[in-house]
Structure 1
């Protein structure tokens, strides 16, 4: 009996440190937050503010890493192929987790299965704006200009929402405009102010300061109702007499597929707490950002619905997959 007892003691001594290591609470090292768009973009601003709050809740640093390119595809791909351990997460958008599937002929990952939904952060409308030197003072006048000279009005885009919102507007208004693609929203804004492009439709975080500062002329908002942040701007529907135009940009957190459920739960709780915090809400209310904390399952359902919605919008706008 002494022999097996002795070996049991040795085995127990061996397993104690192993068990202690396995029992270390998540997270026990910094978490990388991939932002698939450029610094200064709405996604970047929201990701950094949320990451600071979540870092406090988790007791670990969240390191924001910008990986812009191909309407967010490069950053999303990096997360899709990262270890499913909760230490690499994506602040995704309607671009990365809904529309890309319809915009690209082929993705380097399966958009429907590559990610584990974590937390919905919120949504924000866009503002349609033009260069100050453009004669058009209203969206109706801009559409008239485009009708008079098909393809003569140029518009910038650096993300799916920016591209689809303008193509959808053009399609519903019966006009043709020329797209000028950019790598980032801030770069597109610089050229709008400078007059290199005529039109740019972008989220409030990028556009509103420039409209309020008089650098560009706001014409309309893309939501179905006017925004309290800019109540003087009509909706696209109001400005053009349409009834079905609406396009909202949204933001959510995703992890690689296969991330443990307890890790997803911990992240969900931390991001929901951040979304519910007074300082986050006060910080982003001026740009029309509406928070909507919820469960991972609710985000999964929303993602499926948004994927179908954006597929229809892209088809209706006659945008060909690249």
Structure 2
């Protein structure tokens, strides 16, 4: 009799989950972007949200929740109901937070369900228009000669720009003054205004300013030059050997979200990444969707775990802890 009721309960639970998944979504979905509006991660989020709204037949909204290097917004999603209505769109900072914050109140790998990777965005090393350097070699020489006077703006400890600064200092044997902001858009604004000296930001955020001549672009952070900006050298070819960092983005749900809902969200994300409007806009911003092989949930999960390990080595060597 007990076995009968156990089987009955299991069947009821399975049917209930199936019904819930079939009905999903029945109301708007909110994607938390843990950085300020107008920044590169926000731009990526809004592009895919528009396309996913069409597929899911409901509004997919972006809510910006900056602060604490992206951990404030991520923490909210980690604590959210696992019903598919509150998601997280995060970048490389999701993996590095595991090492930057020794008292992090959630696990980047244990408290989330991976939905899928989105894009790898190259970064550009830039400076104010009046900076006394016109090539990457001159840029590095200036930093080495005047390191105590040069300030580097970034979107807060643990942000992609902050990681780029750590890598730049380690690779170039230099030290600069770190100036944290609430988001990338604010630091970029002050570089354009000449209030701070240098920065390193994603092409999704810097392309327009570079093309209009509002900032100087000294290098890109990939091993190959970008087709959208072929005249800008790579940091690797310009003298900083093996210097490479790209900012990958992924979509997550709270741990415990049903497989059926995760599959539905992964499918909507795949459709968005093949949407000609999204592909074209990504190209304008110097990036592209991840390959089909990297769109699966399993690949996303494994990749995040590997990135946690990779950046732990860099962060611990630099002693760049937040707490």
TM-score normalised by L of structure 1: 0.90
Deviates more, 1:83-92 or 1:306-315: 306-315
1:69 aligns with: 67
Q: d(CA) in 2 for partners of 1:42 and 1:301?
A: 24
Aligned length: 303
Deviates more, 1:156-165 or 1:81-90: 156-165
CA RMSD, aligned part only? 1.8
Q: d(CA) in 1 for partners of 2:18 and 2:190?
A: 56
CA deviation after TM superposition for structure 1 residue 21, in Å: 7.1
Question: Are the aligned partners of 1:153 and 1:177 in contact in 2 as well (CA < 8 Å)?
Answer: yes
* Aligned positions of 1:93-172 closer than 5 A: 93-95=91-93, 97-159=94-156, 160-172=159-171
CA deviation after TM superposition for structure 1 residue 315, in Å: 3.5
- Stretches of structure 1 that go unaligned for 5 or more consecutive residues are 1-17
Question: Are the aligned partners of 1:168 and 1:314 in contact in 2 as well (CA < 8 Å)?
Answer: no
Write out the 4+ residue segments of structure 1 that deviate beyond 4 Å after TM superposition.
18-24
Rate the CA distance shift 1:93–1:116 in 2: closer, same or farther, 3 A: same
CA deviation after TM superposition for structure 1 residue 166, in Å: 1.6
Q: d(CA) in 2 for partners of 1:23 and 1:137?
A: 56
Q: d(CA) in 2 for partners of 1:318 and 1:222?
A: 23
- Stretches of structure 2 that go unaligned for 5 or more consecutive residues are 1-15
Instruction: Choose which of 243, 246, 251 in structure 2 pairs with 1:245.
Output: 243
1:189 aligns with: 188
Instruction: Choose which of 34, 43, 46 in structure 2 pairs with 1:45.
Output: 43
CA deviation after TM superposition for structure 1 residue 24, in Å: 5.0
Rate the CA distance shift 1:114–1:269 in 2: closer, same or farther, 3 A: same
Q: d(CA) in 2 for partners of 1:121 and 1:106?
A: 28
CA deviation after TM superposition for structure 1 residue 256, in Å: 0.1
Q: d(CA) in 1 for partners of 2:18 and 2:99?
A: 47
Rate the CA distance shift 1:22–1:226 in 2: closer, same or farther, 3 A: closer
2:307 aligns with: 306
Deviations 1:95-121 (A, max 9, x none): 1x2111111121121222110000111
Rate the CA distance shift 1:20–1:193 in 2: closer, same or farther, 3 A: closer
Q: d(CA) in 2 for partners of 1:133 and 1:198?
A: 9
CA deviation after TM superposition for structure 1 residue 70, in Å: 1.2
Question: Are the aligned partners of 2:121 and 2:286 in contact in 1 as well (CA < 8 Å)?
Answer: yes
1:4 aligns with: none
2:280 aligns with: 282
Q: d(CA) in 1 for partners of 2:301 and 2:20?
A: 29
Larger Rg: 1
SS in structure 1 at match of 2:309: helix
Question: Are the aligned partners of 2:91 and 2:247 in contact in 1 as well (CA < 8 Å)?
Answer: yes
SS in structure 2 at match of 1:237: coil
Rate the CA distance shift 1:19–1:247 in 2: closer, same or farther, 3 A: closer
Q: d(CA) in 1 for partners of 2:254 and 2:203?
A: 29
Rate the CA distance shift 1:253–1:149 in 2: closer, same or farther, 3 A: same
Deviations 1:281-314 (A, max 9, x none): 1111122222124111110011111111222332
1:291 aligns with: 289
CA deviation after TM superposition for structure 1 residue 22, in Å: 5.0
Question: Are the aligned partners of 2:282 and 2:289 in contact in 1 as well (CA < 8 Å)?
Answer: no
Deviations 1:252-276 (A, max 9, x none): 1000000000000000000011101
* Aligned positions of 1:202-213 closer than 5 A: 202-213=201-212
